[in-house]
Structure 1
Amino acid sequence: MTPLAQQIAQQQADAVVLGPHGRSLMRGDLQAVGVAPHIGPDTRIAIRLSDPLDVIRALTALDGQVAAILLLSHALPPKTAVALARAADCTILVQDDVAETRDGVAVMMIDDMLGSERRSEPLATAWLMTTSGTTGLPKIVPHTLRTLSRSVSRFAGATAPIWGLLYDPTRFAGLQVVLQALIGGGQLIAVDTAKTLADQVSMMAENGCTHLSATPTLWRRLLMVPDYAKLPLRQITLGGEIADQPTLNALRAGFPDARLSHIYASTEVGVGFSVTDGLAGLPSSYLDKAPGNVRLDIRSGILWLRPPLTALQPGLPGIEIDNEGYICSGDQVEVSNDRILFLGRASGLMNIGGVKVYPEAVEAVVKTVPGVALVQVSAKRSPVTGALVLAEIQLDAGADQTETRLLIIKTCRASLEREAVPAIIRFVDGFKTNAAGKLMRTKG
């Protein structure tokens, strides 16, 4: 596989990355970057950097030069980062500050790792990603640049896209955007995610962002920004969460000229498939033949996928993969007419009065109610029934709480089982999202 630096060098764009605070990375900058002399071919390096431009510099320098790169979110606690580095046999952790040794891992800043050394015979560098674990350490998932970039589309000239980056580039979704821009022939706008979403939208609009990928949660938040229509989008991509019909409809109305697609991808599977017909779920015909040579199977209501290319092997801890290469997604689905519909994560199922309820199924109904901007459903403990359904709601500007509450109850009663109707409706100012742009699910 051609190293990342060489693939970037083959592109036409001069200004490859536009970053916050007026910073940018030119193609020549990335071509010239290498590693310091003390970084040997057997070195395994973890990177935990907050600036997306530094992440890109590090990846470009290290691919083909070291044995392995472990990508860690800067949002991870320092102790967790060191523990993951040790679990991946990394001897070096590159982060924003502190030069010391922790539990046998040398911690250094990026300029201590970078240099001008580049090997004449590039190495087959392993790219190690982490999942967003809920208990214990996140899982470490092996990849290669080839498995990570197999879905990259190549562009040139006037058709070259300008991608906006709203994700953490060390997460799978963020890295996909980075690779699409760097080796797909386009440019990247890396916004300052510490700023307001309105400021992020403004920066992307001013720099001509044409392609944007975000979770459904982020898209619904973006549609609340007054100037969102200034984005000259040609491509809208949803991923990371269930793409529900109300969100798809809202995006189609907000950006009528943009191509709309939702993709199924995960750290374990990689990019699975995309759906471009504007409907929630996916065609049941994908069970016979899915795009991208991905094979699908439904076992006991759970979706399994076999990607055409993977670095996973059976026996990896925390990852269920069979001898044929099918990987368990953990996503519960049902086939209805000619569609496969996502119900929610099997691990997130709520038991309400003996009835199984998926939070995502309730949220999909609540989102159809006018005035609802965002919703999060969870189970709240009850001494009588064991648990009750709690719906936390962020309203659109100007929506009335009393009227919206009544309409939510009426709509849910007409569409859901009695136990799934929210017993508690709580209005909130907003929600937190994690480094992958997903709604941070909390217990009520």
Structure 2
Amino acid sequence: MTERQRVVIVGGGFAGFTAARTLSRIARGAVEITLINPTDYFLYLPLLPEVAAGILDPRKVAIPLSGTCPGVRHLLATVTSVDVDDRRVHCTDAEGGHRDLRYDRLVIAAGSVNKLLPVPGVAEHAHGFRSIAEALYLRDHLIRQIELADASDDPEERRARCTFVVVGAGYTGTEVAAQGQLLTLAAHRRRPGLRDRPVRWILADLAPRILPELDERLSRTAHHTLSERGIEIRTGTSVAEATSAGVKLSDGEFVPTRSLIWCVGVRPDPLVESLGLPTEKGRLLVDEYLTVPGHPEIFACGDAAAVPDLTRPGEYTAMTAQHAGRQGRRAARNIAASYGRGKREPYRHDDLGFVVDLGGLKAAANPLGVSLSGLPAKVVTRGYHLLAVPRGRARIAGNWLLDTVLPRQTVQLDLVHGSQVPLESCAPGEEVRQS
């Protein structure tokens, strides 16, 4: 061949980032790899709640693409469309310029975006949690509510500003509630004028239990830990309406609050539907080798792909970071195999368990099926994240140590304003896109 084959990877989340790193290691020089992503970093999303809680500096969870993907060309852009027949990707760069790229192999790893439900007022009054910008905004917002409550003489306003509602008790919502409560309690303790107004947190979900996608024992541990700390857990409950004065829950109760945090879930990036290829609930259908039937040159992985779960016939793998990373690795190896390097294999996973950080010295974990809680679970949880994060482990561990021995700083940074992180920013090209 006179020209190297070009592999284009769309998305730099867990799936796309891992695919790019793996392919560059096993096929560097044989193919030209281009990674298209709207940011110049890979976001280690599981530690984002600790950014919102002021434990970690946001730079610790933003892994630079330039230093961790050697041999990969990074294009700072957002993919707007894909011409499947002509094998071309159309995108818009960071300054609005239009680019076209030809590909020989394409990896769709565009990830997911905030999932909005048709609930009146949610888009206008709720805060999402999918990006560094949203985490920084939420941190300032939580601290600001405590400060404004202290400055107010109106008892009803003080009560509303000291009340926080998280909707969605999955992995993200549970950790946001756990970490957010500790941050507001720290700010509250520095405000003697609020001694008569306690901080109130509500965690609501339509599911019969929190963490419904995880092992039931993990769910019970998390429920007990959060309840003991004073967080009100409302299962079988969601939001019926949101206003500037508060939220009306589906059970009819009106909760005065200025803080509605939306962690209901995600949906596949809208780019997937625009491809004109078969989908399953918005996810691109692929076979067990992560290729699109009828298009062996197109691979898909992560939240954007409906991957057959070979351990549970008839089902698809869940939209989790663990699956995304493993699928990205398998997609890269299968692409290399298509060029004669290695052997093509189906994606099959072994469940290694999950970890949930509940703030302070509390956590829940089930490594290899062994249920843990309290300090042992915390050690496992932080150990897992240190092993999983691609770089910056010493800096992250340093932040954790400082948080243990020093009081938490509760000051607003005022870097991100609400208008910059609207919840409805889930159309193609918006910053909330992550794998």
Tell whether the structures are fold-level matches, with TM greater than 0.5: no
Structure with greater helix share of residues: 2
Between Structure 1 and Structure 2, which shows a larger proportion of strand residues? 1
